[in-house]
Structures are given as C-alpha cells and as structure tokens.
Amino acid sequence: MRELTSHKVNGLNESLKIEVLDEPGPGGACHAYRIAVPNGTAVSRGVCCDIEFQNGPIGEVGIRGLSNEALLAVVEDRLKGFQSGAFACRENALALTHLQDAMHWLHHRTRERIQRGVEGTSAK
C-alpha cells in the first residue's frame, strides 16, 4: 500500500490520508484508492471513502468503476459554486480552467477512440 501526499498543503489536507490500494494494471494506472477523514485524532476511526476506478475496457469487462471524468466533474461543480459566491477568486478561476482543459482532452481522446472503433477495447 502506498500513501499519496501531493494534496497536503493546509490543516484539512494534512489530516486526510490517501492510500493506493492496488498495484498498477496493464495500462500502468492504479484503480483503487482510500481517503480517510480523521475523527478526533485517530485516522483509523475516521470516515473512509473508497474510490474504485474502471478496471479493464468496458467492452471486455463491463462497467466496473468510476472514470477520471466523473471525479473531475465533481470538482468542476464545486469550483463553479465557489466562483458564483463569496469565495470567487483568481486561483479558483485558474483551477477551474485547467480542470475544464483536462476534461476537454479526456473527451477528445474518447471521441477519437470512438471514431477509430476501438473505444471500450484494449486496442491503442
């Protein structure tokens, strides 16, 4: 099990523990993560959120998890909310722009795979 630390920058993020629960698959990416939210001082007593990403091509194994796009959509919605309220700022606007760029390129990749007839398969 490996712990991620790139999110740690303030009190909240310092207290969140993100663990990678599996080894990279054939494509090089991991598929299972756990985020532990501390309850008091012991992380082990905190709330956990397990995130399971799609593992394998949908056409070959069916739908078995989340997509990167689904998680990006959640963060995009939150940032849009902040930008429409009292917490609007340049940094949130830039983060939102880059999330939308990431979503654009992930969609672009998927559309190209659909056009080539390889979406949902292991083919490159």
Report d(CA 59, CA 52) in Å as an integer: 18
**What pLDDT, on the 0 to 100 scale, is given for residue 8?**
95
Asked if the structure places residue 42 within a domain, the reply is yes
**What pLDDT, on the 0 to 100 scale, is given for residue 124?**
84
Domain shared by 2 and 59, yes or no: yes
Domain range for residue 112?
Answer: 68-119
* DSSP H/E element including 52: strand 42-52
Residue 64 in 3-state DSSP? coil
Number of domains the chain is built from: 2
C-alpha R_g of the chain: 17
User: Rounded mean pLDDT of the chain?
Assistant: 92
**What pLDDT, on the 0 to 100 scale, is given for residue 66?**
97
The runs of H, that is alpha helices, within 17-119 are: 58-61, 68-83, 90-116
Asked if the structure places residue 104 within a domain, the reply is yes
Domain shared by 55 and 40, yes or no: yes
Asked if the structure places residue 124 within a domain, the reply is no
Instruction: Provide, rounded to the nearest whole percent, the portion of the chain with pLDDT above 90.
Output: 80
* pLDDT over threshold 60, residue 99: yes
Taking only the tens place, the pLDDT of each residue in 2-57 is 999 999 999 889 989 999 999 999 899 999 999 988 775 555 566 788 999 999 99
Domain shared by 61 and 22, yes or no: yes
Residue 32 in 3-state DSSP? strand
Report d(CA 72, CA 80) in Å as an integer: 12
Residue 20 in 3-state DSSP? strand
66, 81, 97: which is the final residue of a domain? Answer: 66
